Amino acid sequence: MSELSRASGVSVATIKFYRREGLLPPGVAVSATRARYDESHVRRLRMVRALVEVARLPLSVVRDVVTAIEDHSGMHEVLGTAHTALSRPGASRPGETPTTRALQQVDGLVRRQRWRVHAGSPSRAALARALDAYDSLGRSMPVDRLDVYAEAAHAVAAADVAGVPDDSREEAVEYAVVGTVLSEPILLALRRLAHEAVSARRFRTTRRPRD
Amino acid sequence: MSELSRASGVSVATIKFYRREGLLPPGVAVSATRARYDESHVRRLRMVRALVEVARLPLSVVRDVVTAIEDHSGMHEVLGTAHTALSRPGASRPGETPTTRALQQVDGLVRRQRWRVHAGSPSRAALARALDAYDSLGRSMPVDRLDVYAEAAHAVAAADVAGVPDDSREEAVEYAVVGTVLSEPILLALRRLAHEAVSARRFRTTRRPRD
């Protein structure tokens, strides 16, 4: 176990904790006090630690991902479980029920974009809640703006998914979850930087407006 | 003042507070106990309240925006002040100094995209810090991925800026700041929804990978 700790960079105490929590399978016992661990344990440990420490997912949710992997689910199902874990209500904002109107906006968008999305997808509800929050200030997101956003999101997602390694489900999950979480601040900062550039083009030569 | 409160939806106590803080100009005194307020006060109040309550900017930062407006700055300068307010260090994450390497990544990107961006722009530093956080986990954002992100961000920003009203600087600031803040959860939810759709296309038909 101390070799496993060295290979994975995870402390022995944390490894024991993950073992007790059922997040790491046992090694093969070679004597009363020693067990053999292999490369699959190292990959699992790295994934679990990334989900706990970087994505800050609760252990119960990490266990769902581990269960999906141990059930020999296919890559799509495993990644789906990971995505569900990331977008569950309460992850970033309270899980209020979205309005029917917002859900219809989302479903219209999904149809126009020809996206294949589960009706029970937490991202669908999360998007509807975000639209409700926007609308609650007396604004309404224009449909054509939402379509521009969706196409931009699709281009980003296509680049992300193309980079997911497909030779181990643990590595794929770690890559997808950590990559999504860590690149969100990058995307938001890029958008603000682009605002500055586009705003300069529109307003820099404008005379002072009437006020 | 009670009429101003009705017209703006801001309580008299809050109006008095904003007056003391210098965020709202005085009305024109018509008697010892009455002052006349006009449409410009209503617009200002709505903007100040949106910056304080929706964008959760500290009063000192709101005051910078008000000062830019009262200095008769042009639209670009006023919006620039508002953007700076939004992206100031500490707004969302600690203001560590970004590494030179990350700043060079940002500057390379800005050149490739032909964006006009201030060297002192807080979005530039915010993006560099986000890249540093990404790299700190032993990953590195590939240049071509970052370019895809930047083009998506540009498309989003162009749609946003096209919608900014240009007849009052207060309305433009309120629209730009509140629109940016409220649409961030929409963009992040859209990206996760797009992940699901793109991932389905790539992985749904795949056989279970070796593991």
Neighbours of A193 (CB within 10 A): 29
- How close B57 gets to chain A, by Cα (Å)? 16
Neighbours of B173 (CB within 10 A): 28
Residue window 29-48, chain B: list those with CB within 8 Å of chain A.
Answer: 40
User: What pTM value is reported for the model?
Assistant: 0.81
Residues of B in contact with A117 (CB under 8 A): 193, 196-197
Predicted local confidence at residue B82, as pLDDT: 85
CA distance B141 to A45: 23
How far, CA to CA in Å, does B166 sit from each of A30, A148, B72, B158, B176? Answer: 75, 22, 15, 15, 11
Whether A184 sits inside 8 A of B188 (CB atoms) is yes
Indicate the pLDDT class of residue B88, thresholds 50, 70 and 90. Answer: low
Any CB–CB contact under 8 A between B196 and chain A? Answer: yes
Q: pLDDT tens-digit profile of B158-208?
A: 999 998 888 888 888 888 888 888 888 899 989 989 988 898 888 875 444
Residue A65 amino acid letter? V
Residue window 6-25, chain B: list those with CB within 8 Å of chain A.
Answer: none
Residue of A nearest to B195 (CA): A157
Report the complex ipTM: 0.81
Those residues whose C-beta lies under 8 Å from the C-beta of residue A105, and which sit 6 or more positions away, are: A128, A131, A141, A143, A146
How far, CA to CA in Å, does B203 sit from each of A83, A156, A178? Answer: 14, 17, 19
CA distance A5 to A66: 20
How far, CA to CA in Å, does B38 sit from each of B20, B29, B35, B44, B62? Answer: 19, 12, 10, 10, 21
Contact assessment for residue B68 and residue B78, using Cβ atoms and an 8 Å cutoff: yes
**Test mutation, A38, A54, A78, A156, chain B, max B CBs within 10 A:** A156
Torsion of CA A175, A163, A182, A195, to 10 degrees: -170
Residues of A in contact with B157 (CB under 8 A): 191, 194-195, 197-198
